[in-house]
Amino acid sequence: MNSNVIRRILVDLARSYPSQYHQVYLNTLQNQQVRTLTVVHGQIDQLPQKVKDFVEECVELCCPDKLHICDGSEEENNNLIKVLADKGVINQVTKLENCWLARTNPKDTARVEAKTFICTEEKHDAVPRSKPGVQSKLGHWLSPDDMDKAVAELFTGCMKGRTMFLLPYSMGPIGSPLSKIGIQLTDSEYVVLSMRIMTRMGQAVMKHLGNNDFVKCLHSVGTPKSERHENPLWPCDPERTMIMHRPDCNEIVSYGSGYGGNSLLGKKCFALRIGSTIAKREGWLAEHMLISGFTRPDGCKFYITAAFPSQCGKTNLAMMTPTLKGYKVECVGDDIAWMRFDKEGVLRAINPENGFFGVAPGTNHESNPIAMETVKKDTIFTNVASTSDGGVYWEGLEKEVDLTHLKICDWLGYEWTPGSKNLSSHGNSRFCSPAVNCPILDHAWEAPEGVPVSAILFGGRRPEGVPLVYEALNWKHGVFVGASIRSEATSAAEFKGKTIMHDPFAMRPFFGYNFGKYIEHWLSMEKKSQKLPKIFHVNWFRKGKDGKFLWPGFGDNARVIEWIMRRCAGEDVAIETPIGWIPKPGTLHIEGLNPTPNMEELLKIDKKFFLDELTEIEKYFDENLTTDLPQAMRDEIKAQRERLSK
Ligand code: GTP
Ligand code: SPV
Ligand code: MN
């Protein structure tokens, strides 16, 4: 985004459409020249030249009244907390230590996939060639001209009356050869507080940056066309929200939302969308995956990574408390993995994040005691309910909160009574906690070289047909398994209902480039010099005829991981089926489970179901990828069909 280009577009727009609306642009432009900017914190002259240029360009565009250069200190953090608390944007959760609750504008509660764009000169660098007449479901493309226009329209003067914050942040430990630096400009204090938890943010990063390049991130909660607002405490512009990425110049521009992945630009925008394009160029992988270590009673430790779509169990698996005696789980990360093969050909993973932005509903001392411990201090809760004794509440805490004696105030701020037809908390309500709060954080979680990966898991919410676990036949088949992930829609994005959606590699909302090329990139990992992890597919969400989950899940998922570890160790505990290897009867440890799960049903492979599944996947590929689908995937479909038809 070049300010001269934007200036030119603005003037052109204003000339061609002499409406009042565009007159505003001209006025803004003129005003800009006489505006002064007050730097309220930090010194602009001490910024590296490239950072200074970036800030000046964005100040000129957005016209903030003030500039605050963040140092990341506790003092700065406390001051910002006070500002937000005084305004009433956040409230203290007095029962916990230094914890806060934010209630957002009800129109700004989740990622908006339909308004997320990848901008490239060539359309098909960003999105696959779909069938004529089919709108690609694998990302949205924007031309550089359209992006410049959008930026000019949306951002001109959008920070008037506000403070612009400059946040230097590192994805990955500061200084690690695998880490990358971003500079985010934002007009939201809430975003500053959250980014300080989710990334390594502050002065140390700026020092380390020097005059090197960085990912440029511009964010504004926006100014709605009509200044009227349902919730003045949470300004946003839902009608005009746009999240734009320019991989060729490492730029992210996000307008109109202050929530989660839309506004904490280090996470999905940088670590996945821009990250995946950098990874493609440099020969590594940026994935929507948890990373955790499993230790057996004999001391043998394996690290796994797992890609499940949003709200499908990554955080819970990453920090689970195993119900199998003598097993230990340690957490490296719960959402994003950057992985590359080292000189010895071992795949190594780092977690580029510094905190957890986890789903609140469903979290309790039984399902995830480690998360409950993690959120006890220094946490920002968003869109959960509050209790009259200064605590928090959400669906799943029924047995832990005294609902008969306490008053509950729901996520919208209204009094809430148990049994009410409305939920107390938004389905995508979250906790934002520093990683260091996690009592089972792995000792190597910040190791600059990353941890060695033995197995890669894929999975999703599949109420029907898909077994509890199966192992891919080989790497190529595993890539096909990843490309074929389907899962029930959740409230992490704007989709309503529980339709089964395609979510290849759990990355559908996060691809930074053409998914066909992404598959090729995965296939290219198969080299003699590289030891490939085994690939598995898991499904904790299969339901019985009564509509209940057949598998207890959570800590009992350790039983499935235990089987996976045995496969990684080369044990003969599997039988081959047309879709892959499943546990030999009796090899998956279910002892002690009450009631005994219906393993026959959980591991059942219905050929008809999988033939239909294959037809659906082939149709999806044909419609959405056409010629961009690598031949290897067609070969996998053919081979799987043959195996199923025998
Ligand atoms: P994102 O942060 O959106 O990427 O989600 P995630 O993949 O980390 O999902 P998370 O672990 O937060 O789980 C999402 C929801 O699924 C929560 O309500 C959990 O309680 C529920 N869940 C997680 N694991 C299991 C499981 O093993 N069984 C069942 N039945 N539910 C689970
Ligand atoms: C997800 O939706 O996968 C998340 C939450 O992890 S957000 O950061 O909002 O993308
Ligand atoms: Mn996620």
Give the mean model confidence (pLDDT) for residues 384-413.
98
Half-sphere exposure of 228 (CA within 13 A, CB side): 1
pLDDT digits (tens, 9 = 90+) for 475-487: 999 999 999 999 9
User: For the residues of 179-227, what is the DSSP string, one character each?
Assistant: -EEEEEEES-HHHHHHHHHHSEESHHHHHHHTT---EEEEEE----SS-
- Is cis: bond before 48, omega within 30 of 0? no
pLDDT digits (tens, 9 = 90+) for 310-363: 999 999 999 999 999 999 999 999 999 999 999 999 999 999 999 999 999 999
Going by pLDDT thresholds of 50, 70 and 90, the confidence category of residue 465 is: very high
Ligand 2 centroid, distance to 374 Cα (angstroms): 18
What's residue 401's pLDDT? 98
Ligand 2 centroid, distance to 560 Cα (angstroms): 25
Going by pLDDT thresholds of 50, 70 and 90, the confidence category of residue 226 is: low
What's residue 284's pLDDT? 97
What's residue 212's pLDDT? 95
What's residue 411's pLDDT? 98
What's residue 224's pLDDT? 74
Half-sphere exposure of 628 (CA within 13 A, CB side): 24
Residues acting as catalytic residues: 312
Ligand 2 centroid, distance to 260 Cα (angstroms): 6
Question: Ligand 2: which of 171, 289, 335, 353 to mutate, most ligand atoms within 8 Å of CB?
Answer: 335
What's residue 586's pLDDT? 95
pLDDT digits (tens, 9 = 90+) for 2-42: 555 555 555 555 555 544 444 444 455 555 544 679 999 99
C-beta of 267 in contact with ligand 2 (< 6 A): yes
Please name the residue whose Cα sits nearest to atom 14 of ligand 1: 311
Residue percentage of the chain with pLDDT more than 70: 94
CA separation for the pair 288, 261 (Å, rounded): 12
Give the mean model confidence (pLDDT) for residues 147-171.
97
User: For the residues of 374-431, what is the DSSP string, one character each?
Assistant: HTTBS-EEES-EEETTS-EE-TT-TTTS-TTTS-EE-TTSSEE-TT-SS-SS-TT-EE
Question: Ligand 1: which of 113, 290, 305, 315 to mutate, most ligand atoms within 8 Å of CB?
Answer: 315
What's residue 18's pLDDT? 46
Q: What is the position in ligand 2's atom list of the atom closest to the CA of 430?
A: 5
Give the mean model confidence (pLDDT) for residues 138-147.
97
Looking at the CA of 493, name the nearest ligand. 2
pLDDT digits (tens, 9 = 90+) for 550-600: 999 999 999 999 999 999 999 999 999 999 999 999 999 999 999 999 999
- Residues near ion ligand 3 (Cβ under 5 Å): 310, 335
Ligand 3 centroid, distance to 309 Cα (angstroms): 7
Please name the residue whose Cα sits nearest to atom 1 of ligand 2: 310
Going by pLDDT thresholds of 50, 70 and 90, the confidence category of residue 496 is: confident
Rounded to two decimals, the pTM is 0.94
Question: Ligand 1: which of 308, 312, 543 to mutate, most ligand atoms within 8 Å of CB?
Answer: 312
What's residue 15's pLDDT? 52
Window from 163-167, 293-297, 400-404, 527-531 with minimum mean pLDDT: 527-531
Q: SS3 of 615, please? A: helix
Looking at the CA of 198, name the nearest ligand. 2
What's residue 232's pLDDT? 82
Report the Cα 138 to chain-centroid distance in Å.
16
What's residue 394's pLDDT? 98
C-beta of 492 in contact with ligand 2 (< 6 A): yes
pLDDT digits (tens, 9 = 90+) for 525-541: 999 899 999 999 999 99
What's residue 494's pLDDT? 86
Ligand 1 centroid, distance to 316 Cα (angstroms): 6
